[in-house]
Chain A
Amino acid sequence: MEVWNLLLQGFGVALQPINLGWALVGVTLGTIVGVLPGLGPAVSIALLLPLTTKIDAAGALIMFAGIYYGAMYGGSTTSILLNTPGESATIVTAMEGNQMAKRGRAGPALCTAAVGSFVAGTIATVLLTVLAPQVVDLAIRFGPPEYFALMMLAFITVSAVLGNSPLRGLTALFVGLAIGIVGIENQSGQARFVFGVPQLADGIEVVTIAVGLFAVGETLYLASKLNSAVDKIESVKGSIMMTRDDWKRSWKPWLRGTAIGFPIGAMPAGGAEIPTFLSYGMEKKLAKNPEEFGKGAIEGVAGPEAANNASSTGVMVPLLTLGLPTSATAAILLAAFQQYGLQPGPLLFETNPALVWGLIASFYVGNVMLLVLNLPLIGIWIKLLEIPRPQLYAGILVFAAMGVYGMRQSAFDVFLLYVIGCMGFLMRRYDFPAAPVLIGMILGPLAEEQMRRSLAISQGSPLVFFERPLSGSILALTIVILVGPWIWNTLRKRSK
């Protein structure tokens, strides 16, 4: 039961007043950016990266993690009341929850989303606590070829499996890898694609890319497509508490959603959309009145919301134990670790258990805080939805420009931000996913390092990746995931 001792130590870190303060700041900011359209958790954490020079690693990471799951809670509020999903993972909630709100049941919808998120988040954190040391035990035996293989698997799943088109996902991935190349290369000290610009020698800042793609690109796109139609915000009438019947109908979907969400999040594949859709489908199948779905069935909010939260906690498993980010926000969190010269992975559990377990303990604390923030204080967050778009997006750009300029006080980065923003606009217009760019950019240089190390061990023979059983099977799986669907489709067409 060593795990529980470690967790107890973690609580010793997380419950220090200063760290409780950072957690509260994190979950509050997270809720705000989750509610506001246009500012996601990835951008918010990226904008706050300069803080890493001023506060200690535990405080900063606890705050960033708070933003990460706070945004999940906040996002559901926007989906239910506005029917514009704040994040792709809340599309299902937007469908069913908004229907409930239209029928005057916004209160119970918000309540089942918040309590469901709490239940799922807490159970998922328990699972994370139990599972993480096991994965660490396994990962301690991994060598460079295994890490390289795992990174390839993550690359392929985040770009080719999630999203509408594998081709556009892979294109985005390669663009991200290209961005990651810029700068002084780690092992040889060789400058690549620097063009004599000192700002490029240090590499392109993650902030610039995250903010450019998500905040500036999105703002440009929305402004150019803005029609005069005004979004209708559903009002919350009556009590927000659920009735006895609502509780009876919600608790099973919460548990089932958690059971679907956590494993999918914890796999090195990631993705929060798939579990929400799976959970929605499952609840519809199991419901006593399936015809109610699409017209505001509470199960259709409870299940997917729980799945969403459980999978976002699950994403922490590969991130903390292997250093493998499988979502845009996880990639930014990895960048935050790197700001402190830390590399998440089995070694970090050895060398810095107080930090890792403090962070995990803070998830328990943060979920409790969010439940309090989101139920009694829901009225405050709803007010945020009433900010008119011109003033909202103007404010977002002021923060965005400040964060990008402030990172290293360079006007060059502002111009680069504009270029990346235009790229984000085009990607939005032609439906290229943005997450693979960030993951490629952050994970790319790490994958290159592992590849070089592997080849140094094998004295240059690329067979090293396939001879070792574990890296060989992971790479084989990667190839199956990449070309399998394509071959399957071709064969099916032939046989017709």
Chain B
Amino acid sequence: MKTIHKGQLAVALGVAALGIAIFVGASFIPDAAGYSTVGPAAIPRLVAVGLLVAAAALLWEVLRGGFRHHDEAAERALPTHWAAFIWISVAILSYGILIEHAGFILSSVLLYVLTAAGFGSRRWGLNAAIGAVIAVIIYVAFQRGLGLSLPAGVFKGLL
């Protein structure tokens, strides 16, 4: 019995799921073909079939001992620190939640501090200061230099 890498299996199934989703989704596209006899639903169907064939081939590789030309052992030799992954996930998601309420500068500082923490730096004060300097420079450059506006949030009217 060959070992089956669960992660690889999940990836292959994920590709299959995407293929099925697109195939099903394509049937909801009204297919008015016109002169070319190929309507807007044809390519999505083709792409879905491509994904399903690829998924089947990936699955075949997984069941036959794993992805070809991929060094699974080397990947496993270095442990994955999920804590770091979570720090950075929180960093980006909180940015998405805060950007339109707290404004660009505050959300950027938080993004900076949390990402640095994910990489193991816990010098909160220093990182916050660096993040603030970068954010203010970007903000002023965009506002004054390019006339593109970023949300001011709590600093409205100050900069």
Contacts and interface: CB of A to CB of B under 8 A. Distances in A.
Contacts of B50: 170, 174, 177
Interface residues of A, number: 65
A418 interface: yes
A397 interface: yes
B116 A455 contact: no
B154 interface: no
Contacts of B106: none
A13 B145 CA distance: 24
A421 B92 contact: yes
Interface string A170-201: 11001101100100010110101100000000
A388 B122 CA distance: 13
Contact of A429 (B7, B38, B96): B7
B80 interface: yes
Nearest to A405: B99
B36 A402 contact: no
Contacts of B51: 171, 174-175, 178
A409 B149 CA distance: 9
A401 interface: yes
Interface in B1-28: 7-8, 11, 15, 18, 22, 25
A399 B142 CA distance: 12
B11 A430 contact: yes
A178 B47 contact: yes
B117 to A, nearest CB: 8
A397 B78 contact: no
B81 A390 contact: no
A220 B88 contact: yes
A151 to B, nearest CB: 13
A256 interface: no
A495 interface: no
B144 interface: no
A459 B37 contact: yes
Contacts of A293: none
B69 A190 contact: no
B121 to A, nearest CB: 3
A168 interface: yes
Interface stretch (A65-73, A221-229, A272-280, A351-359): A221-229
Interface in B118-140: 118-121, 127, 130-131, 134-135, 138
Contacts of A171: 15, 51, 54-55, 58
Contact of A165 (B68, B92, B111): B68
Contacts of A220: 85, 88-89
Interface in A51-80: 51, 53-54
Nearest to A212: B92
A286 interface: no
B1 to A, nearest CB: 22
Contacts of B92: 216, 397, 401, 414, 417-418, 421
B115 A393 contact: yes
Contacts of B78: 225, 227
A452 interface: yes
Contacts of B54: 167, 170-171, 174
A425 B107 CA distance: 23
Contacts of A431: 67, 69-71
B26 to A, nearest CB: 8
B44 interface: yes
Interface string A413-445: 011011001100110011100000000000010
A158 B35 CA distance: 32
Q: Specify the main secondary structure of chain B where it touches its partner.
A: helix
A3 to B, nearest CB: 37
Contacts of B15: 171, 175
B80 A224 contact: yes
A389 interface: yes
B32 A188 contact: yes
B150 interface: yes
Nearest to B14: A426
A224 B82 CA distance: 6
B147 to A, nearest CB: 7
A223 B118 contact: yes
Given A164-B69, A174-B51, A417-B92, A223 B134 contact: no
A178 B26 CA distance: 11
A418 B7 contact: no
Given A223-B87, A224-B85, A225-B78, A178 B18 contact: yes
* Most B Cβ at <10 Å: residue of A164, A174, A181, A389: A174
Contacts of B120: 226, 390
A295 interface: no
Nearest to A179: B47
A479 interface: no
B125 to A, nearest CB: 13
B95 to A, nearest CB: 5
Contacts of A485: none
B131 A398 contact: yes
B35 A456 contact: yes
A390 B121 contact: yes
Interface of B: 7-8, 11, 15, 18, 22, 25, 29-30, 32, 34-41, 43-44, 47-48, 50-51, 54-55, 57-58, 61, 67-71, 75, 78, 80-82, 84-85, 87-89, 91-93, 95-97, 99-100, 104, 107-108, 111-113, 115-121, 127, 130-131, 134-135, 138, 142, 146-148, 150-151
Given A181-B44, A397-B92, 5 more contacts: A391-B127, A415-B96, A417-B92, A426-B11, A429-B7
27 contacts: A54-B146, A167-B57, A175-B18, A178-B18, A178-B22, A188-B32, A188-B39, A188-B40, A190-B30, A192-B40, A220-B88, A223-B85, A223-B88, A223-B115, A224-B82, A388-B121, A393-B115, A394-B113, A394-B115, A397-B88, A415-B96, A422-B89, A429-B7, A430-B7, A452-B36, A455-B36, A460-B36
